Structure 1
Amino acid sequence: MATDHDGVRELLAAWAVGALLPGDEKAVPLHLAECESCAAEAERLRETVRLLGGPASGPRLNGAGGAAGGVLAAALRARPRVARVAPHAAPYAAAVAGLQALVREMEGRWATPVVHDWNAHATVAHLLAADEPLALRLGLDARVPASPVPGDTPWEDAWNARTADVIAHELTRAPEDTVAAWAAQAAELLATPEALDSVRAAHATTLMGLRLPVADHFLVRAFETWIHTDDLGRALGLPVPPPPEEHLGLLVRLAVRVLQLALSSAPPVLLAMAGAEPDAQWVLGSEDEPVQAELVLDPVDFCLLLGGRYEPDAVPRGATGDEGAVQRVLQTAAAMSWL
C-alpha cells in the first residue's frame, strides 16, 4: 500500500482510470485530501482519461471504457510491483508497460499493416532489434542469432541489416514468441544496475550513431517504444495516450539536445513547446547571430516529427520571422528519424 508522497504520485494515473490495487484504494484518496499538488495532478489526469474515452464520471472503471482508457488501465495493471527504476529509466518502463497492454488486443490481427513495410508482428520484432544494442552494451545476451555484418560497416548500414535479419527471423516464429522475447529483453534491461542507479548510468557510450550517457539511451528506448506503440494503436484503431507529462518533458529535452547539435551553425530559431512550463524554450542554431524566427510546437507533435511521423510542412505549428530558418529546423528534425 502506498502512503508516501512519491509513492502516491506514481499511482495517480491508475487512480484516474480506476486501476488501483485494493491496498491503495483508501490510501490515495486520503493523500489527495491533504496534498494540493497531487490533487491538482489527479484532476488533470482524470480529465485526460475522460477526453480519451475513459470513465466520464468518477475514477472507477465500471464495465468497458473507451479504447484508450482500457489500454491505459491495462498498462497500469501490468506495471511490475517491484523496486522502482531510477527516474531516467521510468519512461522506458512505462512505454514497455503500454506496449504490453496493447499487444493483448492483437490476437488474430498480427498481419495488420502498420508502418514502413511492417505488419504488427514485424513492428514488435523491430523493437526487439532496436533494444538489442543497449542490451548488449550492458552485458545482456542477444535473443536472436548474430548477423554476419563486418565490424567496420557504417552504423546505419549495420543497423538496417540487423533489423532486417531480426524481423526475418521472428517472422518464422509465432507472434507470441516474438512478444515474449521482446518483453523478456525489456525486463532484463530494466533490471540492470544502470536502470536502477543514476550514477551507474552517467557514463557515456555510442549507440546508433549517438554518443550519450547510458541514462539518455534509456530515454531513446522509451521514445522509440512509445512511437511504435502509437503506430500499432493507429493501425488497429486503438488510440494510445501520449507519455505522462513528466516523461514527455524528458523526451522533449533529449530531442532538443540532439537537434541543437545538428543545427549548431544554422540561423538561430527560438523553439518553444506549447502549453509547457515557461522554461520549455530553447535557441537552436548559431550563437553568433540574432534569433531569426520563433517556432511553437506541441510537445507530442514535436516528438512525432522527430520520429518521422510528420512531414515538415504538415506538423501543426505557430511561427513568426524567417520562414527559411523555420523550415530548416523542421526539415532537420524530420530527417533525424531512423525509427
Structure 2
Amino acid sequence: MSDATGDSADPARTPWIPAPRQAADDHADLDTPPPAWPSTPERDADEPERHGVEAGAGPGAEPGLGPESYGGEPEPEVPVLSHAVLKSLLGAWALSACSGGETRAVEDHLTACAPCADEALRLRDAVALLHEDRDLDLDPLLRSRVLENCLGRRPARIPVPAWVTPYDAETARLDALLRDIGESEWHAPVRLKWYEENRVVRRKATVAGVIGHLLAVDGLVTAALGLDDPLGTGVPELSPAERTEAFWSGLDRPPNRALRDPWREQSHTLIRTVSFAGRGVADLTVTYKDFALPLRDSLLERAFECWVHADDIANAIAYPYAPPSGAHLHGMIDLAARLLPAALAARRRTGLASPARHLVAAGTPGRSLHLEVEGAGGGHWYIPLDSPAAIGSPDQAVAQVAMDGVEFCQLVAGHISPDEAAAGQDGDREAIRDVLSAAASLSRL
C-alpha cells in the first residue's frame, strides 16, 4: 500500500501498512492464530538446514546463522490478541507507541482485515498532519496544476456555464460563416448603422473591419479578466467606438482575413477562462467608459452584438443567416428590457424624453409600459416610466407595445428607427414614443 502522506512525513516514524490479503466480514476467525506450516518426516529429512536457519537453534542448525550472529536483537514474541484488542491498538500503532510484539501483531492482523487496514491508513494520515513543519495551506496554483495534468492525460470537454452559452454559440456561428467566404469577400463593403439622439448614424466598413471591431470591443471583457488586450498595455479608458477607431488606425494595412484567427482565439480564451474561474466571476464588473455591466450581462451583450454584426456581414455577401435560438434570443431581449429604465432616465436628463409624471419611492410600483414581445424568445415585461428605481407593475400600466422578437432586437441595435418599428401600440402615445426611442438609444457602433 503506497504512502499517501507526502514527502513531509518523517519516514522513520511512518508505520508501514501491509496490504490486506482479503476483506473479512466476520472477525471471529481472526482471534485464532493461523495454523503452522505442515511438517512431515519427509520434509524434515529433506530440509534440515532450512529448519535450523529459521529456528536459529536446534540440532539441524548451522552455528552462526541465527539472528544473534548479525548483531541484532532477537525477534519479539508475537502475542495472541483478539480482534477487539488489536483494533484498540491501531491509534497507538499509528503513533509508533506499541511494543515490538504488539507492532508485529497489529501488522499481521492488517494483512487479513481490510476494515482495520482502512482505519489504520486514516489514522496514519491524521498523525502525519500533526507534524509542526507541515504547511496546511493549499498551494494557490494547485488547482491549475491539477487541471493541466488532467487535461494533459485525457482532453476533456470543459463545462461552459449556462450564462456563457449565448456568447459561445454566436461566436461559433459567425466563425462558421467566415470559414465559408472567399478571399475577395473579406473586403466586401458592410454598412454599419446605429441610433444617436434622434437620428440613425451610418459608417462604412468591410467584413474584415467588422471582425476587427468585434476583436477590439471584446478586449474590454478580456482586460477585465486580466487577459491580453488587443490594443496593448497602457491603453486609456475608451468607449467601444473609440477602441474600434484606435484599432483600425493602428493597423499597418487594411483589415483582411488575418484578423479571423486572433478574434477566434480571443473568444476561445475568454470562454475557457470564464469556465475555469468558478461562480464568482459572473459578477465581475466590465466597464464601457460611460457605463458598466456585470460580466454575466456583458457576455450576453457581446453575444447580441456578435449576432447583429454577423447579420450585417451576411446581408453584405448574400449569405443566409438565422436569428439566435429562442432561449438565447429571450435572454438578449430580457437584457434590453432591464436596461430600458436607465436609458429612459438618461434621455430625460438631456431633454430627449418627456419629464416624469408620478415619482415614487425606490422599489415600489410605478407607472409602467407593458412590452409584449412575440415569437421565439418572446415574453412580457413591464417597464417603469418615471424612475429607474421603480418596479414595473401590470396594475399601473398606462400603455402597451407588441412587437416581434427579431424586430425588437433590430430596434435595439439601431438598425431601424422608432418610427419604422411596426409595433402594435395602445395607450399613452408619449410613453410609447419615449420607450421605443430609449430602446433604439441602446445601440452604438
TM-score range, shorter chain: 0.5 to 0.7
Q: Give runs of aligned pairs for residues 20-59 of structure 1, distance below 5 A.
A: none
Asked if 2 retains the 8 angstrom alpha-carbon contact of 1:201 and 1:213, the reply is yes
Residue of structure 1 equivalent to 2:168 = 93
Deviates more, 1:326-335 or 1:200-209: 200-209
The equivalent residue for 2:224 is 137
Counterpart of 2:10? none
Task: Determine whether 1:112 maps to 2:188.
Answer: yes
Aligned residue identity for 2:185: R
Aligned to 2:248: 167
Alignment of 1:1-339 (within 5 A): 82-107=157-182, 108-114=184-190, 115=192, 116-145=203-232, 149=236, 155-156=238-239, 159-170=240-251, 172=253, 175-193=256-274, 197-263=278-344, 265=356, 268-275=368-375, 280-286=380-386, 287=390, 290-339=396-445
Q: What are the Cα deviations for residues 164-205 of structure 1, in whole angstroms up to 9, with x where unaligned? A: 121233471662221111111111111113676343212444
Instruction: Please give the alpha-carbon distance, in whole angstroms, between the structure 2 residues aligned to 1:214 and 1:232.
Output: 26
Change (3 A) 1:124 1:224: same
Quote how far apart the aligned CAs of 1:333 are.
1.0
- The amino acid that maps onto 1:304 is Q
**Mapped partners of 2:160, 2:277: distance in 1:** 5
Q: Is the 8 A contact 2:188 2:316 kept in 1?
A: yes
Higher percent of residues as helix: 1
What do residues 229-287 of structure 1 show as CA deviations (whole Å, max 9, x unaligned)? 01111111112111111111111111111112223557631111113688532233135
Question: Which sits farther off after the overlay, 237-246 or 262-271?
Answer: 262-271
Query: Which structure 1 segments of 5+ residues have no match?
Result: 1-80
Judge conservation of contact 1:195–1:201 (CA < 8 Å) in 2: no
Q: Measured at CA, do residues 295 and 171 of structure 1 come closer, stay the same or move farther in structure 2, by a change above 3 Å?
A: farther
* CA distance in structure 1 between the aligned counterparts of 2:243 and 2:282, rounded to whole angstroms: 25
Q: Aligned-pair distance for 1:84?
A: 2.8
Counterparts of 1:277 and 1:337 in 2: how far apart (Å)?
20
Question: For residues 176 and 147 of structure 1, do their structure 2 counterparts lie closer, same or farther at Cα, with a shift above 3 Å needed?
Answer: farther
Q: Which moved more, 1:91-100 or 1:187-196?
A: 187-196
Give the % identical residues: 30
CA deviation string 1:6-37 (max 9, x = no partner) = xxxxxxxxxxxxxxxxxxxxxxxxxxxxxxxx
Structure 1 length-normalised TM: 0.68
Return closer, same or farther for 1:205/1:141 CA change in 2, 3 Å cut-off: closer
Between stretches 178-187 and 203-212, larger displacement belongs to: 203-212
For structure 2, the 5+ residue unaligned runs are 1-155, 193-202, 346-355, 358-366
Q: In terms of Rg, which structure is larger?
A: 2
What is the aligned-residue RMSD (CA, Å)? 2.7
Paired residues, what number?
Answer: 254
Q: Match of 2:326, as an amino acid?
A: E
Counterpart-to-counterpart distance in 2, 1:324 and 1:109: 44
Query: Within 2, Cα distance between the matches of 1:191 and 1:248?
Result: 23
**What code does the residue aligned with 2:309 have?**
H
Q: Aligned-pair distance for 1:147?
A: 7.8
CA distance, structure 1, for counterparts of residue 306 and residue 431 of structure 2: 31
